[in-house]
Structure 1
Amino acid sequence: MKMRLMLTALCGFVMLTPAVAQTPDLETIARASGMPEIPGLKMVWLAPWGEVGDAHPWRNIIVHQTEGPAGSARGGAEAQARNPTRRGVTVWVETDGTVYWAVPETMVTTHGDGANRNDNKYIDNGPTFHQVVRDNSIGVEFAGNYPDVTRRATEAQIAAWRILVKVLRARYRIPLDRVYAHNWIDFKDARYCEGCELATLARQWGE
């Protein structure tokens, strides 16, 4: 009887193994089209992905933070979906880690200020000055630093970012050193460094 139970369990394991082996890895998912399930992310698709070869040729990722209260990412993303070229970004991240893909990846949203920083305060601005701009950079907005702009992203946002940045980099073949904080490339609000912690984390996590 004991031997029969062991054989049954072994057969069950063997039958399950091919299914596990067929689970797509993150890079494969990142190059898909439609509205894929991304392990570890709660994605709300207001605009699905098309064929990756038809996407705008994104070369950089710019990390933004908005002075909105918790819960404001959905409203920002929905407004962006209605008017894709308004001031805003393609991807919005709520304080609970929910990610909203707001507009088609073929659209260029209005974000960034022309990469006008040239003081080398945070990074070498030689390669960025007037070069890391909205036309070649996909923007990600993290909501919830109101009323204290110095408030860091939530743990849920950081956990979502750890996966999201890998997805964006894999989808658009963006090198790690092309992940930028908004404050690294533009002169911004002097009260805090917008996006700096999140961009630094992305670079620390590495490949």
Structure 2
Amino acid sequence: CQGLASTAGVTLETMAYHVESVARGLRRVQATAWLLGDLPFGSYHESKEQAMRSAAQLVHAGAHMVKLEGGGWTADTVRFLVERGIPVCAHLGLTPQTVHALGGYRVQGRGDAAALVLKRHALELQDAGATMVVLEMVPAALSAEITRQLPTCHTIGIGAGQGTAGQVLVMHDMLGVNLGKNPKFVRNFMEGAGSVRDAMAAYVAAVKNGTFPDDALHAW
């Protein structure tokens, strides 16, 4: 799965350009990776129709699926897109596009009330037709519980513990080339690796054999 994520400073046109570039590369090597493109901030917030136009632009560029952040109000948008043939990945917990509204990069879903909201939103998104949901910086026990409650929506964790169906890690974090302080859930796979290819292979192997993430080290 090739993921192209966006933050608040990225435009839809930028995302479409990068999706097209990755899609071209996949075709060149006859790869079968699932290409997922993020809908940037402001490209789906005004209306379901706006979301459809934005999603269509990424699909035309080569995306197999689009991702959007948030729960609650996004369920109607997800349903609108899915009914029109566009697979959707949702995103709950820490949502980078709206991090300032969350008070910064903080763990989400702590406490009974907050956990209930996340579980409700996850079920609403599954019922709306989302087939994947990213859980970011969510307590490991809560992520595992949400995963068990979503039989038709696969959870992808980042800083959400071992209990999700899959894992994702930002490439710059994985390779130790980010400019800031590493979040708790990051492991530098370049340490001891002879090449970037070896580091990525080590990451894949660690996820598959269950040694990463380690809930005691990389989760809450």
Identify the TM-score tier after normalising by the shorter chain: under 0.3
Q: With the length of structure 2 as denominator, give the TM-score of the two structures.
A: 0.24
Q: Which has the higher contact order (CA 8 A, sep 6+)?
A: 1
Q: With the length of structure 1 as denominator, give the TM-score of the two structures.
A: 0.25
